[in-house]
Amino acid sequence: MSKFHDGLTNNEWLLLECLWENSPKNGRETVEYMKKSVGWSRSTTLTMLRRMTEKGLIECEEKNDLKMYSPLVERQEAVVKETQNFLSRVYNGSISVMMSAIAQKQDLTREEIEELYEILDNARKGDE
């Protein structure tokens, strides 16, 4: 079951990316990573860690007097949820409207078009 219902904020996504990359991470490692990658201060990172722990997005375990943080949300689960939220919010839930908008405004390569055909073909085979 999903640990998030309304999607992730941009800041939650950034912190989860840090933890998805390699976890568990202790507080110091997380602070250093977030400072280097997005310029967060120590207090911002620690506040986000606390809030996300309270929301059930990450877990905090004490090991050898260190707080160790790990994601409770799988990256793939978050990608699917965020995609569903985006599709619903921007395209009123219509994949075909989204694809039409992408095809009109993007220069799709031949390879990308072939990949899309393959995805659609696999979806059709799944319905049979």
Q: Average pLDDT of 65-92?
A: 93
Q: Average pLDDT of 76-95?
A: 91
What pTM was computed for the model?
0.77
CA distance linking residue 128 with residue 119, whole number of Å: 15
Residues 7-31 have pLDDT tens digits of 899 999 999 999 999 999 999 999 9
pLDDT at 99: 86
Instruction: Tell me the β-bridge partners of 61.
Output: 68
When pLDDT is cut at 50, 70 and 90, the band that residue 1 belongs to is very low
pLDDT at 5: 63
Residue 96: CA count within 13 A, CB half-sphere: 0
When pLDDT is cut at 50, 70 and 90, the band that residue 3 belongs to is low
